[in-house]
Structure 1
Amino acid sequence: MRALIVDSSAPSGLRLGETEDPTPAAHEALVRVTATSLNYGETAHRNEAPDGTVLGWDAAGVIERAAADGSGPAAGTPVVTIGEAGGWAELRAVHTGMLGTAPAEADPGPLSTLPVAGASALRALRRVGDTLGRRILVTGATGGVGRYAVQLARLGGAYVIATTGDPAAHGDGLRALGADAVITTPDEITEPVHGVVDLVGGPQLVQAFDTLAAHGTLVSVGHVTGQPETFPFGALYGNAGRHERSIVTFHLLEHPDLTPDLTWLAERLTTGALDPQIAWRGGWDRAEEAVAALLERRLHGKAVLDIG
């Protein structure tokens, strides 16, 4: 099969070439991939993988061969998939708990933006808890996860506050997705929030935690600053009526039960209830162009590669 293969001698660290077809385990379906979306983390660290590796967390396509153990959908079913690797290829072996079915009319390009970004946002908001009528803060809201978190929080009935490094440039776009307020940093907040989806880390996470009301939860998802989270003395006191606040984390790929979430997200995307916010789309022969745009932070939204 053809695939984007890690190649340290290539300008982008990737080349389009031939590699062996995957061999699915009994609980895995073989998927014919038609689109994949790039995530900053896998792209930025691609050269840490050995030459010949096929990376890729997100992919959408059609079941080529159903799982041998009888789990998962039948051959011919449109699906959206997630895994630790293998998405940047024509064929992918996927744990049947890590794929969701999609409507027959769905465009695989937008579908491929859902697994990491959409499922991370959905799971983070579930960890926050009830959002109806609550104030929810999303930090780093212009990234893929952030844009889905804003939309999903709004769908859940929340008053959504979004942070971005450039509100003048991105404020209108975030408001169109459902943000009620767009600010630069959490220290601009004057009224406590009930939950935080933090996609930044570092000092902004510390600031965001300080905005939490009693019993509020901060879910730490992103760590783009590379800076430590240093809390000042007393920051974790349960005083001033703000007790029992929590900081929680999760790792999406440790939960092989994503089928209902991915299916639900695919349905909402297809009906137009969710906007994939695709900022770049092209054939996978243009992968070098997409990688450069992503790593240089020229994209505010998702990059999609059409495969084959």
Structure 2
Amino acid sequence: MRALVVDHGEAGPVRFADVDEPVPSAGEALVEIRHIGLNFGELKYPQEWPAGAVHGHDAAGVVLRAASDGSGPPEGTRVALGMAPYAWAERVAVGPGWLGTVPEGVNLADAAALGVAGVTALRVLRKRSLLARNVLVTGASGGVGHFAVQLAALAGARVTALVGSPDRAAGLRALGAEEVLTDLDETEDRFDLVLDTVGGPVPARAWRSLAEGGALHLVGFSSGEDTTFSSGTLFGFGEPRTIATYGDMTPPSQELTDLLGLVAAGRIAVPVGLRGDWKDVDDAVRALFARRVHGKIVLDVT
């Protein structure tokens, strides 16, 4: 069968290869993959994965054969794979902890976009009560950012979205952002929670806008730049402020189920900014790296 595998060469970060058919264990279902969802980190830093390994974490498809031990969804169920290993192949053997059942009325391609981005946003925002809190989402036009804006607003937060340029602001107010900024110097607000996907100078600047008792969560570093805090910046009086890193890749079945339920109920939208065929993955990767896509990239497996 065909799969997208990790390529450490100049032509990378992925290439097509013929790989062995998966052999499910007793606790794994065999899933036919219909769509895959791309993520910036797994493509920008392919050296973190072994060369030649089937790549990717997010996908959606249909269960061809249920797990023989009776766990997980039955044959014929539409499922989303989130944060799952080896997801970008025509068929995948996967445990139930990485699966969410896609409700009727939810597009299977949309379900492929939920995994890493949606679950990351949901897990961070669940760290504290957001009702009537000020929340800042940086890199808000990306996949995590789009979900974070919606979920924070849904939880009752006053959401400020930070984007890199005015042309990346489109649609964010409709998703729930009360303010959309291109520079934090445009506001004097203090934030109870900052979800940063950008890295570089942005979190250092956001730290200065953090309220007493506030938390800065670092969930990505799309800028590729170092973050430097000037002398004395991390000292302060009053309720302690915190910086937290994010690296939770535990099985997200419950979070996928929650997100899919919100999509089915029309309470959040899935931000697919580019839909295409997986044979055109190189073009999609270039568009992702050039930041020409607002939201997620989903490719059909053909």
TM-score, length-scaled by structure 2 = 0.92
Name the counterpart of 2:131. 132
Contact 2:13–2:43 at 8 Å: present in 1 too?
Answer: no
Instruction: Give, as a single letter, the amino acid of the residue that structure 1 aligns with 2:290.
Output: E
The farther-off stretch of 169-178 and 142-151 is 169-178
- Describe how 1:6-85 pairs up with structure 2 within 5 A: 6=6, 11=11, 13-46=13-46, 49=49, 51-83=51-83, 85=85
The farther-off stretch of 289-298 and 191-200 is 289-298
Name the counterpart of 2:268. 274
- Describe how 1:226-265 pairs up with structure 2 within 5 A: 226-239=224-237, 241=238, 243-253=239-249, 255-256=250-251, 258-265=252-259
Write the distance in 2 (CA, Å) between the matches of 1:9 and 1:248: 34
Write the distance in 1 (CA, Å) between the matches of 2:191 and 2:48: 39
Write the distance in 2 (CA, Å) between the matches of 1:170 and 1:297: 9
Name the counterpart of 2:277. 283
Write the distance in 2 (CA, Å) between the matches of 1:162 and 1:187: 13
Write the distance in 1 (CA, Å) between the matches of 2:184 and 2:24: 46
Contact 1:12–1:291 at 8 Å: present in 2 too?
Answer: no
Write the distance in 1 (CA, Å) between the matches of 2:227 and 2:183: 15
Q: 1:51 to 1:245 in 2, by over 3 A?
A: closer
Where does the alignment leave 5 or more consecutive residues of structure 2 unmatched?
Answer: none
Q: CA deviation at 1:141?
A: 0.7
Local SS of the residue matching 1:303: strand
Q: CA deviation at 1:39?
A: 0.9
- Describe how 1:130-209 pairs up with structure 2 within 5 A: 130-166=129-165, 168-209=166-207
Local SS of the residue matching 1:60: strand
Q: CA deviation at 1:165?
A: 1.1
Name the counterpart of 2:86. 86
Write the distance in 2 (CA, Å) between the matches of 1:158 and 1:178: 9
Local SS of the residue matching 1:54: coil
Q: 1:307 to 1:72 in 2, by over 3 A?
A: same
Local SS of the residue matching 1:5: strand
TM-score, length-scaled by structure 1 = 0.90
Residue 292 (1) aligns with residue 286 (2) = yes
The farther-off stretch of 136-145 and 176-185 is 176-185
Aligned residues: 302
Instruction: Give, as a single letter, the amino acid of the residue that structure 2 aligns with 1:39.
Output: N
Instruction: Give, as a single letter, the amino acid of the residue that structure 2 aligns with 1:297.
Output: R
Q: CA deviation at 1:84?
A: 5.2
Q: CA deviation at 1:231?
A: 1.9
Where does the alignment leave 5 or more consecutive residues of structure 1 unmatched?
Answer: none
Local SS of the residue matching 1:124: helix
Residue 306 (1) aligns with residue 282 (2) = no
Local SS of the residue matching 1:279: strand
1:110-160 superposed Cα distances (whole Å, 9 cap, x missing partner): 111100111111011112x11111110001111110011001111111110
Local SS of the residue matching 1:132: coil
Write the distance in 1 (CA, Å) between the matches of 2:51 and 2:217: 35
Q: CA deviation at 1:304?
A: 0.8
